[in-house]
Amino acid sequence: MIATYDDRDGKIWMDGTLVDWRDAKVHVLTHALHYASSVFEGERCYNGKIFKSREHSARLLKSGELLDMPIPYTVDQIEEAKTAMLKANGWTDAYVRAVAFRGAGADMGVSAARNKVQMVIAGWEWGAYYGDAKMKGAKLGISKWKRPSPETIPSQAKAAGLYMICTMSKHEAEAKGFSDAMMFDYRGYVAEATGANMFFVKDGEVHTPKADCFLNGLTRQTVIQILKERGITVHERHIEANELEGFEECWLTGTAAECTPVSQIGDYNFEVGQLTRDITKTYEALVRA
């Protein structure tokens, strides 16, 4: 029987204290539950070390700042909390989820300035996000929902509210037998998958959508650096939908996805080619170094 995420053994760090897993609770009138006033980070711990841990902590604080929700902890304090949570659970390889949100308080409307910003850090042992796609390549549908304009919400914040259309898109894709969905942006350019950035290969060069209206992932930045250090040309640009037919390889990047090959997007097929395999192998070696 699969343990649900509300009924497990272990410890969760919550507002400065390690609490038993089942006791990590919030009130039903928590502001974030009603108005999505929440930001989060997803991180992976390999061999006892969280990859780019401080960068994740700094981005969490920045996300809070962008949403006018100052988080009452420093990067150092967040780092200490993550270490304490992992140690309390005895994990050296795990997925780490840090989330900050406006809790229940004096306000229960759109405004929530008087409500305390709370923070929770949890974790769990998690394998490959896309299962056996690491070998065969993930299959993606194409979402009808588009990434919104940065004029509607700060797109560089890792904000919970930005993921609702991702959940809807992924559900629709899974119902059709796909692993995930590719999303266009509000202008019709190729954007990303529901929780991962995208890369394409053509004639030995790499093309990746310009991250001007969606999150510029830390894994994305890492992979671009790897490619450039190898002397491979990387084009960060707007990609038209009709260009998908001409790409030879494709892969996804993200903390959860790591580097995952893609074999299909809608009616377009891609090979799990040599460059995709090389980058996947190099990334896996890097995070475990």
Q: Are 188 and 241 in contact (CB under 8 A)?
A: yes
Composition of the chain by helix, strand, coil, percent to 5? 30, 30, 40
Cα-based distances in Å from 98 to 39, 56, 113, 142 = 9, 9, 21, 29
CA gap 289, 287 in Å, rounded: 6
Catalytic residues: 158
- Given the structure tokens 């997007």, which residue do they identify? 265
The burial class, CB within 10 Å (0-12 / 13-18 / 19+), for 242 is exposed
Q: What sign has the CA pseudo-torsion 276, 147, 158, 224? A: positive
DSSP-derived secondary structure letter, 92:
S
